[in-house]
Structure 1
Amino acid sequence: KGGGDMGGGGMGGMSHGDKAMDMTKERAMDMERDMKMDHEMAHSDQMGDMIHKSTVNHHQLAYHLINNKKQMESMKDMKGMSMAGDAAQMKSHHLMVYPLDDAGKPLTGSKTGYLVTSPSGAQQKAMAMEMKGGYGADVDLTEKGTYKVTVKIVKGDTQIVDNFDYDVK
């Protein structure tokens, strides 16, 4: 009845030959925990909603939208989560696109950008960062009405451009 399952405490008493195996096992446990957390977060309402799906040049694109304010509120009581940014300066939403190639594998290592046109015609451009098999950027969707969203994904000679409308009520 010890703390052997508590991460780094399980290496005492092992020979040097077992150290690499224990570190590999520990890394696998960390990956399993991270994957479980990713899986739980992916199915959580707080991680946003799928707002659009399309197929362009044999690539499947799935778009998710995360409400940043709701996300921050849900995380404020979590240990280890510091809310260093000023919520008043934060953009209202985080837009993610998850592109899959024709084999169904995530399209990684590309440059991805959004052009979002508000109902009043104001345009905002955002370069997306690669994260968790997709590309995300913060956008401001505070105005009610229909937004026009354009995404451009470039990887080598492959260029994907997709457009869709999104209604904010």
Structure 2
Amino acid sequence: MTSDAVFSTAGYITMAVEAAKRLYQESPASATITGFFLWKVDAKATLRVPKDDTEIEFILSTDLSSNAKSLEWTRFTIVSVTRDSSHWIEHCTGQAKVEVGLNTKVNIINTETDARITGISAWYSRFAEIGIGYRSEFQVHADQPLKEEIQITPSIISPWTPFSSWVWFYATVVS
């Protein structure tokens, strides 16, 4: 096992959402985006972030044959190569699209607190045991609170539809 940090799958999802957003916003008649759909996301390989200054090149490609401007699914692929290798590694694939004011009955995931309390360091220890290493600069530190004037409320909403593999992500930032 190496001591390199691992780039989070959340980073791949963020890249895919940003790509879908930008493709949609290129449309002259684009409406306000209210959310995103992700489908068939497959994190295929880890991306180890070396401790030294080794350069890593990312490419996020989208399938432009699926028209993001008309709210269709956009396929994405995220690959990388290090300067020491000419071999491209496919890290994540899937499909994304934007939601614009869609009125759908949804069930919000239960947010009740679990009675078990686990410190965040226990999570990172377990991750390291199974090969998912997060160096301190990539870890969440509970002793570093957000600025008082900023509140972030993430929500994961599971739609009440036959397409149970869809997940909608919303983040509300109030400053």
Q: If the length of structure 1 is used for normalisation, what is the TM-score?
A: 0.25
From the CA coordinates, give the structure whose radius of gyration is larger: 1
Higher RCO (Cα < 8 Å, 6 or more apart): 2
Structure number with higher strand proportion = 1
Structure number with higher helix proportion = 1
Q: If the length of structure 2 is used for normalisation, what is the TM-score?
A: 0.25
